[in-house]
Structure 1
């Protein structure tokens, strides 16, 4: 009489079958690894595509941001009997006029700053002479480079003479920049005028009624939330620019209008824009004023205004629902700055907000949306967790 094998003693037949067929867990892990590799390859392909095709994709991205921002205004006017084409034309041409007037206003101050940049840099080095001891070696290296540039070596002189300056490079890109602006405004106009037609096409393509309703709900919610966010932030940054410009005028900083506009644009970059503004204002103040104590007023005022806006005013108006992860903001700004330069830096956060809102409305992307979100207070999370329990 044979005893049955105890639990813990392997069955030879069962073990051979396991060796023949790979376990299910291994198959799942391999499938996950394959998906991760495919995702990385697709992301790299998209990144290279938008980098080399920036002449095509940059106007589309800017137009998408502008159309999402202004679409609720067009739709509200349409409900009051005003055709979408007329409202879209008024908005786009208004933006074009504002951009043109701003460019003409800023041209002369910017040119003056560019021409005066060498003198500002020289004076800044002289003013900081007493505290730049650790940089002495770097200065000596710079002097050696300067001596080499001023030598009689024909090859060195040839390189220096033929090197294009900043203004020459800017002049060479004026045509491309103007073409990009025209394409951007044209795309924005058509996206605003025919946004309802686009939604109608989406509804006709989807097969089920539930999918149609869900797609429209997501589209309208993304449009409404992004528009509210961007318009509110634009209004806040306009007020902040006015406050910074007025403060710079009161303390005697040069070009206060330019400071105000720069502060408003930089504030579209949370955390980063404020730091850049403080550093630049400190450098210009050191060159402008006689004493370091007087020069410290400008960066302190700039820091105080932006800190008040970022920590109290904007959270009170927008709430914390659309706060973003600071690390993700830095990565997004770095990525889009590398891909599209200054334009990429300016639209990095709006694109991130669009992605965040879209992820919040798609169940499969809720994890990514949570990763993009900023830190919320514990009380808010408890309140959100208690709401379903109270309803039940």
Structure 2
């Protein structure tokens, strides 16, 4: 039977998990020293992850992409009888060609919008004149609050303002360094992903062989199989749904005569990988684009409103129905993880927040000592992984 056709856990199973979680908490009964040691260890690991982001992020993305490309790799090796190395090269080349094609398609309209920014901003400011009064009042209130919190300087002191000389080549150097770092990370990701696709099963087999007990061997195999099965199915489902969201938003922008509908459909597709924050940013962008392309502020509300309807249909109904059969995540912890990993690693961390939290829940569900944490990470039955 296909994994996506498996029934949801029965209420008795959920009650049994709660009893096991309470039993594990009662049996553990950690003292203060153990709790402090665990907290210090977690803080040390997080500090290392933050400092080593340049190497950790490509490794994590390679692991996630390995889970995504696992089913296509098995299709190429088992059905078409391709060697594992050739199948890995085909998948990686196809992935990078797809990314390069999408980037090339949207780079021209995106650069045009950036070049028109100086003339676009005054026009947007003119269209937003209706909101100028409340915005001015808000700014005045913030300035007054800032003056109240500032400490006045002592009498007789003079304030010295030091201006640094303009750095003519600073921007070019920054762009060059950023491009070199991005190429290095892309190379690291490609190499690690290739060896994971080719020899990842061998690495897992060697790890299982060195474990001492049969129960530990079964637990590691169960964790690996469930992570690969559920996370790969989740990523494929979310990618398909995001593609439909991008197509729908591109069509609605085209139907309303907005400029560059392909660009905004692609933006909606990419932003939908970031729960909650991504669609909110997308609605704001659609409003600004419509405000620039239409004659009135009320007509400019139509594209973001349709964007909201599309997102609600996808995020509140379709996606939870498809992914809730596999695992559910607590929406509160999901938004906390989203902000935390965004603070740690920026946009890349926000993209990895959901897979990392889902992997944490799967591991906790298989390790008896971590069962209470897994029960906390999980959401009530019927709630989707995206917190909808």
The verdict on a shared fold, with TM-score over 0.5 as the criterion, is yes
Alignment of 1:162-181 (within 5 A): 162=168, 164=170, 169-181=174-186
Return closer, same or farther for 1:140/1:164 CA change in 2, 3 Å cut-off: farther
Does residue 247 (structure 1) correspond to residue 252 (structure 2)? The answer is: yes
2:148 corresponds to: none
Contact 1:289 1:295 in 2 (8 A): yes
Residue deviations 1:256-285, cap 9 Å, x none? 111111111111122222211112211221
User: CA–CA distance in 2 between the matches of 1:139 and 1:249?
Assistant: 40
User: CA–CA distance in 2 between the matches of 1:247 and 1:277?
Assistant: 14
User: CA–CA distance in 2 between the matches of 1:374 and 1:252?
Assistant: 42
Higher relative contact order (CA 8 A, sep 6+): 2
User: CA–CA distance in 2 between the matches of 1:88 and 1:95?
Assistant: 11
User: CA–CA distance in 2 between the matches of 1:163 and 1:139?
Assistant: 37
Return closer, same or farther for 1:85/1:161 CA change in 2, 3 Å cut-off: closer
2:66 corresponds to: 67
Does residue 302 (structure 1) correspond to residue 301 (structure 2)? The answer is: no
2:224 corresponds to: 219
1:282 corresponds to: 287
Does residue 366 (structure 1) correspond to residue 371 (structure 2)? The answer is: yes
Contact 1:72 1:223 in 2 (8 A): no
1:84 corresponds to: 84
| Alignment equivalent of 1:231, drawn from 233, 236, 243 | 236
Does residue 33 (structure 1) correspond to residue 32 (structure 2)? The answer is: yes
Q: Shift in Å at residue 173 of structure 1?
A: 0.5
Return closer, same or farther for 1:296/1:141 CA change in 2, 3 Å cut-off: same
Residue deviations 1:307-362, cap 9 Å, x none? 11111211232235433222222222222222222222222222222222222333
RMSD between aligned residues: 2.7
1:204 corresponds to: 209
User: CA–CA distance in 2 between the matches of 1:363 and 1:334?
Assistant: 29
Residue deviations 1:199-255, cap 9 Å, x none? 210121012333323321221121111111111111111111111111111112222
Contact 2:49 2:56 in 1 (8 A): yes
Residue deviations 1:150-187, cap 9 Å, x none? xxxx975x65665955x764343101101101110111
SS of 2:197's partner is: helix
Does residue 57 (structure 1) correspond to residue 56 (structure 2)? The answer is: yes
If you compute each CA radius of gyration, which structure gives the higher value, 1 or 2? 1
Alignment of 1:1-392 (within 5 A): 31-80=30-79, 81-136=81-136, 138=139, 159=165, 162=168, 164=170, 169-319=174-324, 321-377=326-382
| Misfit runs of 4+, over 4 Å | 139-142, 158-165
Contact 1:65 1:351 in 2 (8 A): no
